[in-house]
Chains A and B, each alone.
Chain A
């Protein structure tokens, strides 16, 4: 029993160490869209953290805890991958919430520098994002921004896990989401 505990704690330590080494530079992605609909209407579409059906890439959302800080949701993507997220800040009056990714499924496993690397469905690490609806008269402006690291934490990343891969994937998610949100709100 003792041996097992030791092995587990060593493994845990190892995992923690790797998961939080931030040698690389944090990246950001920012998307903004103007929607010809009142802010309240746009907000009503995205306000429930547990419902991300407004995003075309999301197949299903399972959530726990509502819209409170610490509430979680598991997003199932169209291709079957999953992303678990948690609310960090929820501000109804500002029509804004911030959340972070706490877990992801693996999209594929590659070999890089002689080591097996798991590429997560979203090739990023330590990802957090904020989405905000702002009223501009009868129209509204939605800002969606994300901060994250590339998925590979050591020097010399493989192409699947470098900054370009991370930026392309995140930018695509933000853009696709906002375009669809606009379409839904202007219906």
Chain B
């Protein structure tokens, strides 16, 4: 344990030297849906350093690329809250529409994308004015969102249409839609922007798509009710939360086979990788905790107490 802490501290120091003003220990922002709050985990210390009140049943999380703001969707408040990470408080509440759930920030920080679960569309919000500038219809019950690293495309998992849509972010129009497994929910993209991995809740598998033509290249069986996924170790391993059996499946992205099954807390949902590209954080909804997995040894090295209904759906790590 002591050894691991030391490594984290060393890494944080390095980050501080190489990053612009906002640099700090990486923080994870965990939405606690039933507590109406967001827990801020200081990954260096391995504990919650602050809890912010966010009314409206906070669910989706997207940290702005600059790391200065965090967008948290609030389905019952029909929109999202803007958290200022320095002040550690909600500085704006944005009304979007009835079923705001999935949320993502553009790679240049200029836009925020919100998936509307009830109205089946994506709202494009200007990050400065916080106004909706465009509404794009997609499939039924859009949930997970991910922006390509080059900021050119937005990918949307349409849960009830069993499909993934690709949106052209220059034109703000739908480019293509492809069928995947049953009830896709969370998705992630690799650093090169070449592959997408989608967790299909009902078919207990992950669909692997190549992004250029948006075609499926593989389907990988995982465990019960996969919810979301995250890549680590130079995109060599994919970690998938299995909601219904309290585990995380580990997939080797070269062979596209499941190589390990790690027991975490009960009802694991949101999953994200620490900026060190090695440690994977999992929000356990039922246990009110976050499990920290060492992506190399595939062991849970820490469990951090958060709040009731920890969901953290999306990109919850600050850089």
Residues of chain A whose beta carbon lies under 8 Å from any beta carbon of chain B: 17, 20-21, 23, 25-28, 88-89, 98, 100, 128, 130, 145, 147, 155
Contacts and interface: CB of A to CB of B under 8 A. Distances in A.
A176 B202 CA distance: 33
Given A20-B160, A23-B75, A128-B244, A28 B224 contact: no
Interface string B281-296: 0000110000000000
The 4 closest A-B pairs by CB, nearest first: A25-B57, A17-B160, A23-B117, A147-B286
Given A20-B159, A21-B141, A147-B286, 13 more contacts: A20-B160, A20-B202, A23-B99, A25-B34, A25-B57, A25-B59, A27-B34, A28-B34, A28-B286, A88-B224, A88-B245, A155-B98, A155-B118
Contacts of A17: 140, 160
Given A25-B33, A25-B75, A89-B245, A145 B286 contact: yes
Contacts of A26: 33, 285, 309
Contacts of A25: 33-34, 57, 59, 75-76, 309
A20 B183 contact: yes
Given A20-B183, A28-B34, A147-B285, A88 B244 contact: yes
Interface string B276-319: 00000000011000000000000000000000110000000000
B225 to A, nearest CB: 9
A21 B143 CA distance: 11
A147 B287 CA distance: 11
A134 to B, nearest CB: 15
Nearest to A24: B75
Interface residues of B, number: 26
A135 B202 CA distance: 36
A128 B285 CA distance: 13
Interface in B217-253: 224, 244-246
Nearest to B202: A20
A130 B245 CA distance: 11
A26 B309 CA distance: 8
A32 to B, nearest CB: 14
B84 interface: no
Contact of B309 (A21, A28, A100, A130): A28
B93 interface: no
A130 B98 CA distance: 33
A100 to B, nearest CB: 8
B190 interface: no
B211 to A, nearest CB: 27
A23 B116 CA distance: 10
B267 interface: yes
Nearest to B201: A20
A4 B59 CA distance: 41
B266 interface: yes
Contacts of A20: 159-160, 183, 202
27 contacts: A20-B160, A20-B183, A20-B202, A21-B141, A23-B75, A23-B99, A23-B117, A23-B118, A25-B34, A25-B57, A25-B59, A25-B75, A25-B309, A26-B309, A28-B34, A28-B285, A28-B286, A28-B308, A28-B309, A88-B224, A88-B245, A89-B246, A98-B245, A100-B244, A145-B266, A145-B286, A147-B285
A132 B98 CA distance: 38
Interface string B54-87: 0001010000000000000001100000000000
